[in-house]
């Protein structure tokens, strides 16, 4: 690893961007040993940015609730493309938006999806299992949450490959120009969908409910806010689950003793999923925040308006919180992990992601008793937001 300088290039610190994407944890461990706050440059290829990174469990937990770190961009917010949503909002606006969304996205609605999630999983495995080998991302981890979130929102049949391209470009962009084009493409798709639902008979789906939802004081989502929330639910509602399933299965297959223990006792599944989320979760760093003014943390001053990342992957491998953090142990008490964030921005879809993850992994292990990796994955998602692979070759 390179020496720690004034600005840490994460790719160079790991010897290469490819090495960092494959295993960022040694870099985060080295940074955590040196301090809480670091001025970093994100790895290439793709757009590189200079940001401030907070590492360690205690510091990250505090940062999630630090009012000096805000979500609204300091240059203001232009909602002409996607629109306002929860990840760009601070209190009290955040509370208003989340309240309106949770009126429609209820625990009852999520619980009612369980039979359908199982049926979709079974259908995908019916197609996959006879083949004897597959890319698990393309065959199960990607289509399952995509179909679920599309049905939940009331999105008609969608071109999966087109949507996969758009979604990946949003969460792991390879170029700034392509990213901008994708946002325009998605905005047009969502505008057309919202217009269709607004002018047709009310449907019993989440997007229709969001259009109709009204608070006691008459407040409701504006057209721009509807587009923004539909975007957030559609992208975030499936992308994290893709990588929960992919990373979780990869961790199991890389640790045969843990896999055997789970096969022998499926009552361990809930705890195993929590350990998957801690050990190699789907979100590497939380979505961006900004310093509302000069912010001092552990003796380091982050300049006003500077972009700030909270290192979830670092927090969940912090030995001060989780003993032997690099060990994958499905019997571990993984409570306290921050895979879904913390504070007011805690992931709204966490219950749905957990249900999908448990269903997919249990059904996969039951249908494929001799499941194994079919070579090492080498197509890692770029960037520092999402943690996962584009392909996961397996056989049985």
Task: Provide the domain limits for residue 48.
Answer: 8-395
Report phi then psi at 236, rounded to 5: -65, -25
Closest CA to 319 of 128, 55, 17, 68: 55
Query: Does 355 fall in a domain?
Result: yes
Query: Does 305 fall in a domain?
Result: yes
Query: Does 3 fall in a domain?
Result: no
Query: Does 2 fall in a domain?
Result: no
78 pLDDT band (50/70/90 cuts)?
low
Give the CATH number for residue 381.
1.10.630.10
End-to-end Cα distance, the chain:
38
> Looking at the 3D structure of the chain, how many domains does it have?
1
Query: Does 311 fall in a domain?
Result: yes
pTM of the model: 0.91
Query: Does 1 fall in a domain?
Result: no
Q: Angle 350-367/223-254 helices, nearest 10 degrees?
A: 40
pLDDT tens per residue across span 2-35: 444 479 999 999 989 999 999 999 999 999 999 9
What pLDDT score does 2 carry? 41
The answer to whether the beta carbons of residues 83 and 228 sit under 8 Å apart is yes
Which of 95-99, 218-222, 257-261, 378-382 shows the highest mean pLDDT? Answer: 257-261
Query: Does 339 fall in a domain?
Result: yes
Instruction: Say yes or no to pLDDT of 235 above 90.
Output: no
Query: Does 194 fall in a domain?
Result: yes
């Amino acid at each position: 690893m390179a020496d720690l300088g004034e600005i840490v290039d994460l790719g160079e610190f790991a010897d290469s961007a490819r090495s960092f994407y494959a295993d960022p944890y040694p870099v985060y461990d080295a940074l955590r040993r040196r301090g809480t706050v670091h001025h970093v440059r994100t790895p290439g290829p793709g757009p590189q940015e200079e940001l401030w990174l907070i590492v360690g469990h205690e510091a990250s937990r505090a940062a999630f609730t630090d009012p000096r770190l805000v979500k609204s961009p300091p240059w203001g917010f232009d909602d002409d493309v996607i629109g306002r949503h929860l990840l760009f909002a601070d209190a009290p606006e955040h509370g208003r938006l989340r309240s309106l969304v949770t009126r429609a996205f209820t625990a009852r609605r999520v619980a009612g999806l369980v039979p359908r999630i199982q049926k979709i999983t079974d259908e995908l495995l019916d197609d996959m299992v006879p083949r004897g080998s597959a890319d698990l991302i393309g065959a199960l981890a990607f289509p399952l949450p995509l179909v679920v979130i599309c049905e939940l929102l009331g999105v008609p049949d969608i071109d999966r490959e087109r949507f996969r391209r758009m979604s990946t470009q949003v969460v792991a962009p390879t170029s700034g120009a392509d990213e901008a084009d994708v946002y325009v493409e998605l905005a047009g798709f969502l505008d057309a969908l919202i217009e269709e639902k607004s002018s047709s008979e009310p449907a019993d789906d989440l997007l229709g409910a969001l259009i109709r939802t009204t608070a006691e004081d008459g407040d409701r989502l504006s057209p721009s806010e509807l587009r923004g929330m539909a975007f957030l639910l559609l992208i975030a509602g499936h992308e994290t689950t893709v990588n929960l399933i992919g990373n979780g299965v990869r961790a199991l297959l890389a640790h045969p003793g843990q896999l055997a223990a789970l096969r022998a006792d499926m009552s361990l599944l809930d705890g195993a999923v929590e350990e998957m989320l801690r050990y190699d979760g789907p979100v590497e760093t939380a979505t961006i925040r900004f310093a509302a003014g000069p912010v001092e943390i552990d003796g380091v001053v982050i300049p006003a308006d500077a972009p700030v990342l909270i290192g979830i992957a670092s927090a969940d491998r912090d030995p001060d919180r989780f003993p032997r953090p690099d060990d994958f142990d499905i019997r571990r008490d993984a409570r306290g992990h921050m895979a879904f964030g913390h504070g007011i921005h805690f992931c709204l879809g966490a219950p749905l992601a957990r249900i999908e993850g448990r269903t997919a992994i249990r059904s996969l292990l039951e249908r494929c008793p001799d499941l194994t990796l079919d070579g090492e994955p080498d197509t890692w998602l770029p960037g520092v937001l999402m943690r996962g692979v584009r392909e996961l070759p397996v056989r049985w």
